[in-house]
Amino acid sequence: MSELIDRALQLLYFMAPAYVANMAPPFVRYWRGWNRPIHAPSLGEHKTVLGFAFGVLAAVPIAAVQKALALPAPLVDYTHWPWIGLGFGIGAMIGDCVKSYFKRRRKIAPGAPWIPFDQLDFVLGSLLLVGPFAALSVADAVFLLAISLIGDILVNRIAFRLGIKTSPW
């Protein structure tokens, strides 16, 4: 049982840059003027250039901290922490944009729930970019998807209640 808990913590630690990248964009929603939508017809008004950039850049210092902590048996080589951070950030933001594109095509309004895609878009994007460079098994990926689904729902509801997000999704 201890080995399973250790592996779960190791996986959550590994995904920390993606989790931070996913949580970062709502913090810049109040920066008006030059915070333009990426492409409103395809992604919605709320997917902004600044939000995308902030999400990408937010992952990089997390990877730097992971490198500095130098925990034993990392899942990825943190020698290349800037690339790892960028991979997690870009993967998370692209995953979110791809999901939003398909959400708009299905005529689902921004802020309306689209479970499980709203919760897993950033995880899938990050794993597609960084996963090939990590020591992950299929069971690891399934665990990350399951725990991210549950965790994202909880974090988004808390952020909504705190007024950070405009919807609980």
CA–CA separation, 23 and 2 (whole Å): 30
**Predicted confidence (pLDDT) at residue 3 exceeds the cutoff of 80:** yes
Work out the mean pLDDT of the chain and round it to a whole number.
Answer: 93
Q: Where are the domains positioned within the chain? A: 2-161
pTM: 0.92
Mean pLDDT of 96-110: 94
**Given this model, what pLDDT does residue 167 score?**
77
Kindly write down the DSSP assignment for every residue of 46-110, as one continuous string.
Answer: T-BHHHHHHHHHHHHHHHHHHHHHT-SS-SS-GGGHHHHHHHHHHHHHHHHHHHHHHHHHTTPPT
24-76 confidence digits (pLDDT tens): 998 887 777 778 889 999 998 889 999 999 999 999 999 999 999 999 889 99
CA–CA separation, 106 and 100 (whole Å): 10
